[in-house]
Amino acid sequence: LDDLLSYNEMEDGDMFKANDRVYFAHKKKVGSSQFHTVDKGQSMWSIAQKYGMKLHRLYEKNRMKMNDQPVYGEVLYLQSKRTDF
C-alpha cells in the first residue's frame, strides 16, 4: 500500500476516484505529450496522472509553485520548461 501511494503521489487517507489512472511503478520526469490544455475541473495531480509524470516536475516545467492550480484553457508544458515568463 505504501508503494502504491508513493507511486501515485498520494498520502495515507487519500482515495482514488472512478476513472483515475493508477500507477504501479515510478512515474517519469516528462509527460508523454509536449503540451496539455487544461479542461474544466482538472487539477495538477490529475494532469500529472494522465501523462504519467511526477507532479513536482509538472510544477517545475510550468514555473508554478506547489499547490498552485491551473486555470481552464491554460496550456501546460509537459516536456520542456516554460519559456514565456
Provide mean pLDDT across the span 59-79. Answer: 96
Q: Average pLDDT of the chain?
A: 94
Model pLDDT for residues 25-43, shown as the tens digit of each residue: 999 999 999 999 999 999 9
Q: Which residue has the cell 501511494?
A: 5
**Predicted confidence band at 56 (pLDDT cuts at 50, 70, 90)?**
very high
Q: What is the pLDDT of residue 63?
A: 96
Q: Beta strands of the chain (E only): which ranges?
A: 35-37, 75-77
Distance CA 34, CA 77 (A): 6
Cell numbers standing for residue 36: 496539455
Q: Is residue 85 pLDDT above 80, yes or no?
A: no
